Amino acid sequence: MNKLKKRLRATLLENPAVQIKESVMWNLPVVTFDVAFKRVKRSKMDILMKMLLLAFEQANIRRAANLSEMLLVEELFIVDLIEKMQRMGLIHLEKEGYKLTQKGHEQLKTGIIDEEMEEEWTVLFYSPSHDKFWPAMTEPVPVTEEELSLYRYVNNQDLINVDRMLKILAERENRMEENGFQTVVDDVKSFNQRMVQHAPCLEFRMYNKEQDIFYARVWNTWLERWDDALEKQIEEQERLEWREKWTATAEFSE
Amino acid sequence: MRELGLDERSFFSLEKSFHVYIEKYPQAADRLLSVALFFDNKANAHMADKYNGLVIVMHCVVEKDRFIATNVTTRVAHTSVQTNWRRPVDLTFDLNVKRGMPVPLDVLSLIHEMPVAQESSVYVKKRIASWEGYLKIQERHADIPDMASRYSGLTFNGDFSRVTITGCQLGEKEWKSLKDLSVKLKGIDKDIGKVLKANRSARTVEVELHGYMEEEARQQRLHMNQKEVVFSNFATVSQVKRLRQGFKHLENGLAANPELERLLFENKPPVRAPKRQARLQFHNHLNEFQQEAVIGAMSAEDLYVIQGPPGTGKTTVISEICLQNAKVGLRTLVASQSNLAVDNALGRLLANKDIRILRVGRTESIEEEGKKFIEENVGQYWKDQTQQEVFAQFEACKKRKTELEAEWALNEKEQEQLQPVLAQAERALEVKKVAQKEFDEGQSFIEEQKKDVPVAEQKQRAARQQVQEAEQALRSLETSIEQDETFLRDESDKGALQKEWESAQQLMQRLHRVIACDELQEEINRKKQNIDQAAGECEKRATEINQTDVASAKIAAVKRIDGLKWILLEHYIERSLRAEQLLAELDCIRGELNQFTKLKAYNDQLNRAISYVEQLFIRQRVSIDQLKQRAGNGASSYRADEIDHFLDELRKAVKQNPNIDVRTLGDYLEGLYRRRHFVWQKAKRLKSYDHYKETAIETFRLLKQEMIHLLQQKQQMNKVSCQKFLQVLEEQRAELRSLQSKHQQMAALQEWIANAKEALQQNEKKALHLQKKKEQYEQVERRIETNRIERLEKAAQLKGAEQKLAQLETHLKELRDTISRKEEELAPLHVILSTQAEREHERVLKHLASLSFTRESLKQEKQKLPLFQSVQEKWLSLLEKASDHDLDEIRKLYVKHANVIGTTCVASARKDFLDNYPVFDVVIIDEVSKATPPELLLPMLKGKKIILVGDHHQLPPLIGNDTLEETLQEMADESEDFEGKVELKKLLKESLFERLFKNLPKSNKTMLAIQYRMHENIMAAITPFYEQESDRLQCGLTDSDLERDHLLESPLIQRDNHLLWVDMPNEPAFFEERMKGGKSLYNPAELRRTGALLKELDEAAAQAKQAGRMKADEKKSIGVISFYGEQVKRIDRLIHQELRLRHLTIRTGTVDRFQGMEMDVILLSMVRNHHNKQDDIGFAKDYRRLNVALSRARELLVLIGSTKMFTERTKQADTRNMYTHVLEAAKKQHGLRTLEEVTQHE
C-alpha cells in the first residue's frame, strides 16, 4: 500500500506547481449481492416481426396503416417487415387480409415459446456512493497495516430494485446461440445482500500555486483509477475549508 | 480503344443502348460542335464489368448524321458521371456510317440547349474566389509537417481536462507553430487533444484533452513507457480539404440543386416562385410568424431563409418543418456549424413516430442531448419512445372503455330526448307553413288592392279637377253674359243705325256719278293733245321725203368721190357695209396711183441724168455696157430722199468739175443704173395706170349706185310711216267725238258737286264705322244667346262631375278599409312566421345526425377496442422483454428509414456520410450566421431545397477560439500582404446570410418576431437592434411578471427588477488589467463584485426556498459571462475555488460561446474600464456581441461595468448610443445600482 501511495505521490508531484497539502486513506463500502436468475432460450425472431405475426393471426388486417395505428409503429417499418415476411413465405395476402402460412404458424409457435433454462446464480458488486454496479475486482485489494475508517460521505439510500438487476444481468448474461436462438435473462428470482466489502482509497488534498486552486485526488483501488465521483463529492464539501485553513497558515507562515 | 483491349464493334455490342451523360465543350467559330460522352459505369452493367468499373469518356465531334469519336479516355471508377453541367441520355450506336441516318433531333437540340460545362465551372470559380479568404485563414498552418518529440512527463490539471507535457524537445520554429495542433502519444491510437499553449522556455506544452481521454487519464493509461509525442495538424488539414472539396463540387456541377451557385452568388438570387402555398396542419403550437415561416419553408422550391432573433422559437420551427417533411415522405438534413447546435436542435424535435432522427458524427463529440439519436442508441430510443406511447394509449384505452359505455348511453339518451323535440319542431314547421301560405295569400290580396288605390286616387284627382274646371267655366260665362247685357243696354237702337247707314249710301252714289263726269272731261282733253301731236309727225315725214329726193338727184349727178362724201355728210346718210368697202377700195386705188406717178417722176429724172452721163462716156469713148450689166445684177433698195440726194451730188459734181474723170463718173453712172433698176423693179410690181383708172371709175359707179339704193330704201320707210300717222290721226278724231257726246249726256243728268272726291272718302269712312257697329251689335246679341245655352250645359256638367267625385271618394274609402281590415287579419300570422321553426328543425336534425355519426364511430370504436387492447397488451409485454438482438433489428430498420439526419456542416462532407446520404430533399441549416460560407456550402450541396435559419444580428463565425476579427488582426500582424483580406472584410460586414435575407423576395423569407425567452423588460434592451427589420421584436409572454418571475429578493435585487446595471466607477481602483504575457484583459474589481453578487443571489435563493417560493431541491440557473476569456477563466476559478453556492447551478463562458444558450439569470462582466485616451472598448463595440450578451437571460440580467466608460468614454457615437439605450432602459426600470448603494449593503 505504501508503495502504491509513493508511486501516486510521485506522479502527482511531477507538476512542480502543485503541493500535496495532506493525504488520507479510507475504505469505500462495496455491497455484494447474491443473485438468483433465470435465463430462457428464445427464437431470434425479433419482437416486431413476432408482434406482426400475432396480429395477423388475431385479426383481419389488410393495410400496414391499420397496424401502424394499433402498434404506434412507423408504417414504413411495417411495410418493410411485411415484405420481408412475404419473401420468407411466412405470410400471404388473402381477401380479408394477411394470413399466416403453414411456415408462419410454425415459426410463430417457436417464436413465442420460451424454453426455460436452469436457474443460475451470480454475484454483483454495487457501490452506493456511485450508485453503480462494478465488475469484480481483478486484483486483490492491497494490504494495509492500519485499520481504515469508512468513507465519510457514504450514501445509504437504497436504490436497488429488480429492474436494475435485470438490466445489468441482461448486459452481462445475454447470449446469441446458434440455430437462430438466443438466451436471454428473463427473470431475477431473488437477490440477497451478502456482505459489504471495503475498497481502500487514497485521498490527496492538492494545491496548485500557479492557479491558486485547491482540489482533491482520490485513487480508487477497486477500479484502479482516479475516482472523479469521489473527488467531486469531497471537493464540494471541503474545498472552502481547505482554502481557509491553508491560506491562513500560508499567510501566517510567510 | 485498342489500348483498352477492345475493338469498336465489340465495345458497342456490350450494351443494347448505353446510358450516357453528355458534356458540351466550349464552342468556337472555327471549330465544330464537340461533346464528351461519359458512359455511366453503373447503369451500363456489362461495360462496367468489362472495364472494372472505369468510367469511359468518348470525345466526339457532333455532325448532323453522326458522332465522330476523336479520342477515348478513361476515368477512375469513383468519378462522378452525373453532374449539373451534363445531360443524361440513352444512346444506341449504329456503326454503319453508310446508312446515313440523321442523329435524332431530340439529341441535337438537347446538346444545343445544354450549358457548356467549362463555362459554368468558370462562373463558379470566379464567384467562389471571394470565399478564398476563409480557407486561407484555416490553411495558415496547413503546410506544417508532423512534429515528433520526446518528453519527460505528463501532468494533469484538477479535472483532467488538460495535460501539460513537460520536457519537450522541439526546434525553435516548431515551438511557434504548435498552437491548435492535435496531439498524439505514441502507444495510444486516438488523439489525446489539441495544443492550447506552448511554453518554449519551460519546454512545456499545455494540451486540452478530448472528453473521451479523461477516463484514460484517470486510469493512468496515458503514462507510456516510450515517451514520444507527435503534433500534427491532420484535423485542420482534413477539414480544409473538405471545404476545398466543397468548392470543387460546386465547380463541377455536383450540387443537388442545379441552381445552387446562382442562388449563392447572384445579387438577386433567382429563386423559383413557390408553386402554391402549402396548407398545413401544425403539430407544434406556433405563432403567426412561425406559421408563416413553416408554410413558407414548405412551399418554397429551392431556398428559404428564416431570421430568428433570440428566443423566438427557431427550433420549434425547425422541428415543425422536419415533421411536415416526414409526413410527406421527405428526408431532411439538419446541419449546423457546431455539434452543440446540432444536438440542441435535434433534442428539441417533437417526439413523433413519423420522425426518425439519426445523429451522425463522432460519438465522442456529440452532446448528451444528441446521444440518444446516434446509431447505436436509436434502437433503444425507439423502443423507449414506442413503449411509452403504447403504454399511454393502452392506459387510455382502459379508461376509454368505461368512457365509451357512458358516451354510448349518453348518446342513446340524447337521441331519445331529441325525438319529441324533433316532432315538436316538425309540427311547428307545419304550422308555420300553413301560416305562411295564408299570409302569402292575404299579402297578395293586399298587394292587389293596394295597386287599385293609386288608380282610384288618380281618378279622384281628375274628377276633382273636372268639377273645378266646370265651376270656373260657369263663372266666366256669367261675367261674359253680364258684360254683354250692359253693352246692349248702353248702346243706341238698331233701327237708327240702319237709317243713318242708308242715307250715307245714297250720298255716296251721287258723289260717284259726279266724279265719273269729271273724269270724262279730262279724257277729252287728253285726246285733243294726242291729235295735235300726230298731225306734227305727219308733217315732219313729208319734209324728209322731199330732202331724200334731192339727195338722190345730187348723187346721180356727182362725178368725184370727194363730192360724194360731202353729200353723204350733208344728208346724214348712213353708210352701209358695202359702201364702206367700196370707199376703202377707192382709197387703195388712189394710193397705188400716187406711187405710180412718183416712180414715173424718178424714172424721168434718172433717165435724164443717165442720158447726160452716157453722153459724157460716149464722148470719152468708154463702154458702158459693162456698167449696165453690173448694175442689173445687184439688188439694192433705195429710199426717195436718198435718190434725191444722189442726184444732187451728181449734179454738184458735174457742175464743179465738167471734166470729171471717167472712173468717178463710172461710179455715178453705175449708181444711176442701180437706182433706175430699183425704180424699174418697183414699177414692175404695179399694174398699169389705165387699169387703176378703170377700176376706180367702176368702183365709184358702184358706190353711187349703192348710195342711191340706200336712199330709196329710206324714202320708202318714210312714206309708210307718214301714211301710218295719218291713219292714227283719223282714229283719234273719231274717239274724241264720241267722248264729247258722252260728256254732254252726263253733265245734263247730274248737278255738279264741288270737292266730290273728298266728300266721298269721308262718307265711306262713316259708312264703314256704321257697318262695324251694326255687326258688333249683332255679334253681342248672338253671343249672349250662345252663352246662355252654354251656361245651361255647364251647369248640367258640373252636377255630373260632382256626382262622380262623390262616387270615387266612397270607392277609395272602401278600398282603404278593405286593406286595413286584411292587414289586421294578417297581424297574428306574423308571430307565427317570426318563429325560427326551420332553423330549430334543422338544428335538431343536425344534432341528430351528429349523434348518429358519433354513435357510428362509437360503435366502431367499441368493436375495435378489445382488439386494440389485446394487441397492445401483447405488444407492451414484448417490448418490455426486448433484448439487444431485438433492438439491433429495430436499429437496422430505423437507420434505413431515418428521415431527419443531424450532423455538423463539416461532417456532412465526410466520405462515409456522402456515400450513405448523397442527397436530401431538404437541408436545414441552423445558426447559419455562426458558420463561414465554405462551411455552409457543404450541407447546401446536398439539398434540393435549402432552409437557412439564423440571425445576422448575432455573432458571426468563430475560428478556433477566436472571432474572425481577432484572427484577421492576427493575420494582418503576421503578414501585411494577406490576399483575401479585403474580400473577407467585405464579407464580415455583410454575411452571406444577411445578404440572402435582404435580397430574397418576401415569399422566401420570414423574420420570427415574437420572442418567448426574455422578460419584456430585458427585451427592451435589445429591441433597437431589430428596428431596421420589417417587423418589430415583440414579447410573446402573456404576463412577463408572472412567467418570468425570478422569485429572488435581496438588498440589490427586488422582485420587479429584471434589468440591472451595477455601475463600476471609472476610476483607477476599478480599472481593467492585462494578463501577464498575454493579450486578454480582466477586471479584478468586477471579479470581486461578481463574486459578491453570486453570494447574494445564493442567499436570496435560500430565502426564496424558505419562503416557499422555490422548491427545496430546485436550483437557480445562472450564467456568468464576459466579453473577455481571461475574465471568464478567473470567474470560473472563483466560483469553484472560493464560493460555495448550494442553490445555484452556474455556467460560465464568453459571450461568444454563450450564443444559443439561455439561463434564468445572467451576470455580464463587462471588463473594459480605463482612462487611456487611445484605447476604446474592444470587442464590446460590436452590437451583435452586445445583442447576444443581453439576450441570454430569461428572468434577470445584471450588467457589471462602468456606465461612464461605456456610455461616455467610448469613441464612436453609435456605440455610445447603443450603451446609453441599455442604461436608459435600466434606469427606467429603477435598475441602476451605484457604488454607494452597493457598498451600503455589504
The confidence score (pLDDT) of residue B1031 equals 83
> Rounded to the nearest 10 degrees, what angle do helices B375-490 and B884-897 cross at?
40
Cα–Cα distances (Å) from B513 to B739, B742, B743, B763, B1000, in that order, read 16, 13, 12, 15, 128
The confidence score (pLDDT) of residue A254 equals 40
Residue of B nearest to A42 (CA): B883
Say how far residue B186 (Cα) sits from the centre of its chain: 72
ipTM exceeding the 0.90 mark = no
B944 pLDDT band (50/70/90 cuts)?
very high
DSSP notation for B63-120: -SS-EEEEEEEEE-TTS----TTSEEEEE-----GGG-PPPPHHHHHHHHHSPBHHHH
CB B57 within 8 A of CB B75: yes
B893: chain A residues, CB-CB within 8 Å: 48, 77, 80-81
Q: How far is A224 from chain B (nearest CA, A)?
A: 6
Tell me if A215 and B158 make a contact (CB, 8 A cut-off): yes
Smallest Cβ distance to A214: which of B160, B897, B1137? B1137
In this predicted structure, the answer to whether residue A249 has a pLDDT above a threshold of 80 is no
Do A97 and A219 lie in one domain? The reply is no
Do A241 and A123 lie in one domain? The reply is yes
B616 pLDDT band (50/70/90 cuts)?
confident
Instruction: Tell me if residue A89 falls in helix, strand or coil.
Output: coil
Residue B794 contacts A, CB cutoff 8 Å: no
DSSP run (H or E) holding B898:
none
> Rounded to the nearest 10 degrees, what angle do helices B1125-1138 and B1084-1106 cross at?
50
Do A202 and A79 lie in one domain? The reply is no
- Rounded Cα distance, B882 and B387, in Å: 10
Domain end marker among A65, A86, A110: A110
Do A125 and A208 lie in one domain? The reply is yes
Q: Cα-Cα-Cα-Cα dihedral of A106, A112, A117, A119, to 10°?
A: -170
Residue B445 contacts A, CB cutoff 8 Å: no
- Rounded Cα distance, B576 and B709, in Å: 10
Residues B51-104 pLDDT 10s:
888 888 988 888 888 888 888 888 888 888 888 889 999 988 887 767 667 888
The confidence score (pLDDT) of residue B634 equals 63
pLDDT higher for B52 or B1145? B1145
Do A85 and A144 lie in one domain? The reply is no
The confidence score (pLDDT) of residue B635 equals 66
pLDDT, chain B, mean: 85
Tell me if A213 and B393 make a contact (CB, 8 A cut-off): no
A213: chain B residues, CB-CB within 8 Å: 158, 1133, 1136-1137
Preferred mutation among B323, B890, B893 to probe A, highest tally of A CBs within 10 A: B893
Cα–Cα distances (Å) from B527 to B518, B521, B541, B732, B736, in that order, read 15, 10, 22, 7, 6
Range of the domain at A92: 46-110
CB B1091 within 8 A of CB B1230: no
Residue B32: count of CB within 10 angstroms of its CB: 13
Smallest Cβ distance to A47: which of B157, B882, B1140? B882
Do A80 and A172 lie in one domain? The reply is no
Do A100 and A127 lie in one domain? The reply is no
B531 pLDDT band (50/70/90 cuts)?
confident
Do A106 and A125 lie in one domain? The reply is no
- Rounded Cα distance, B948 and B531, in Å: 143
Residues A82-124 pLDDT 10s:
999 999 888 988 888 899 899 888 888 887 777 888 888 999 9
User: The domain spanning residue A53 has which CATH number?
Assistant: 1.10.10.10
DSSP notation for B387-426: HHHHHHHHHHHHHHHHHHHHHHHHHHHHHHHHHHHHHHHH
The confidence score (pLDDT) of residue A207 equals 92
355-394 in B: which are within 8 Å (CB) of A?
356, 386, 389-390, 393
Preferred mutation among B212, B881, B1115 to probe A, highest tally of A CBs within 10 A: B881
Residues facing B920 on adjacent strands: B943
B354: chain A residues, CB-CB within 8 Å: 74
Residue B867 contacts A, CB cutoff 8 Å: yes
Tell me if A58 and B872 make a contact (CB, 8 A cut-off): no
Instruction: Tell me if residue B756 falls in helix, strand or coil.
Output: helix
Smallest Cβ distance to B393: which of A18, A72, A184? A72
Smallest Cβ distance to B889: which of A15, A46, A225? A46
The confidence score (pLDDT) of residue B91 equals 87
Residue B883 contacts A, CB cutoff 8 Å: yes
Tell me if A48 and B886 make a contact (CB, 8 A cut-off): yes
In this predicted structure, the answer to whether residue B2 has a pLDDT above a threshold of 70 is no
Contacts 24+ apart (CB under 8 A), B122-130: B123/B261, B124/B250, B124/B251, B124/B261, B124/B265, B125/B251, B127/B261, B127/B264, B127/B265, B128/B247, B128/B250, B128/B251, B128/B261, B128/B265, B129/B983, B130/B983, B130/B986, B130/B987
The confidence score (pLDDT) of residue A248 equals 67
B977 pLDDT band (50/70/90 cuts)?
low
Preferred mutation among A52, A71, A76 to probe B, highest tally of B CBs within 10 A: A71
The confidence score (pLDDT) of residue B211 equals 83
Out of B1036-1045, B1075-1084, B1147-1156, B1214-1223, least confident range: B1075-1084
Which of B1213, B1151, B667 is CA-nearest to residue B955?
B1151
171-230 in B: which are within 8 Å (CB) of A?
214-215, 217-220, 223
Which of B668, B1114, B767, B1154 is CA-nearest to residue B927?
B1154
Smallest Cβ distance to B885: which of A18, A176, A243? A176
Per the structure, how many domains does chain A have? 2
Do A93 and A210 lie in one domain? The reply is no
- Rounded Cα distance, B1052 and B1233, in Å: 8
Tell me if A72 and B390 make a contact (CB, 8 A cut-off): yes
- Rounded Cα distance, A51 and B353, in Å: 17
A253 pLDDT band (50/70/90 cuts)?
very low
In this predicted structure, the answer to whether residue B987 has a pLDDT above a threshold of 70 is no
Residue B1133 contacts A, CB cutoff 8 Å: yes
In this predicted structure, the answer to whether residue B1242 has a pLDDT above a threshold of 60 is no
Tell me if A73 and B353 make a contact (CB, 8 A cut-off): yes
174-193 in A: which are within 8 Å (CB) of B?
174, 176, 182, 184, 186
Domain end marker among A82, A110, A138: A110
B959 pLDDT band (50/70/90 cuts)?
low
Mean pLDDT confidence for B370-384: 89
B1116 pLDDT band (50/70/90 cuts)?
very high
DSSP run (H or E) holding B1035:
strand B1034-1035
Do A96 and A144 lie in one domain? The reply is no
B763 pLDDT band (50/70/90 cuts)?
confident
**What percent of chain A stands above pLDDT 90?**
24
Tell me if B220 and A226 make a contact (CB, 8 A cut-off): yes
A252 pLDDT band (50/70/90 cuts)?
very low
A243: chain B residues, CB-CB within 8 Å: 1137-1138
Do A32 and A50 lie in one domain? The reply is no
Tell me if B883 and A182 make a contact (CB, 8 A cut-off): yes
Preferred mutation among A52, A72, A242 to probe B, highest tally of B CBs within 10 A: A72
Tell me if B389 and A18 make a contact (CB, 8 A cut-off): no
Tell me if A51 and B223 make a contact (CB, 8 A cut-off): no
The confidence score (pLDDT) of residue B222 equals 85
Tell me if B878 and A186 make a contact (CB, 8 A cut-off): no
Preferred mutation among A47, A66, A239 to probe B, highest tally of B CBs within 10 A: A47
- Rounded Cα distance, A192 and A249, in Å: 50
Residue A141 contacts B, CB cutoff 8 Å: no
CB B257 within 8 A of CB B172: no
The confidence score (pLDDT) of residue B671 equals 81
Do A227 and A247 lie in one domain? The reply is yes
Residue A170 contacts B, CB cutoff 8 Å: yes
Residue B1134 contacts A, CB cutoff 8 Å: no
- Rounded Cα distance, B1003 and B74, in Å: 46
Preferred mutation among B1137, B1144, B1146 to probe A, highest tally of A CBs within 10 A: B1137
In this predicted structure, the answer to whether residue B261 has a pLDDT above a threshold of 50 is yes
The confidence score (pLDDT) of residue B1218 equals 93
Tell me if B386 and A212 make a contact (CB, 8 A cut-off): no
In this predicted structure, the answer to whether residue B602 has a pLDDT above a threshold of 70 is yes
Residue A22: count of CB within 10 angstroms of its CB: 13
Beta strands in B814-917, from DSSP E residues, in sequence order: 900-904
Mode of pairing for the β-strands spanning B962-963 and B958-959: antiparallel
B995 pLDDT band (50/70/90 cuts)?
confident
A41: chain B residues, CB-CB within 8 Å: none
Preferred mutation among B152, B155, B389 to probe A, highest tally of A CBs within 10 A: B155
Tell me if B897 and A70 make a contact (CB, 8 A cut-off): no
Residue B863 contacts A, CB cutoff 8 Å: no
- Rounded Cα distance, B1029 and B1019, in Å: 16
Mean pLDDT confidence for B940-960: 88
**What percent of chain B stands above pLDDT 90?**
23
Residues B172-231 pLDDT 10s:
888 888 888 889 998 888 889 989 888 888 889 999 998 888 888 888 888 888 889 999
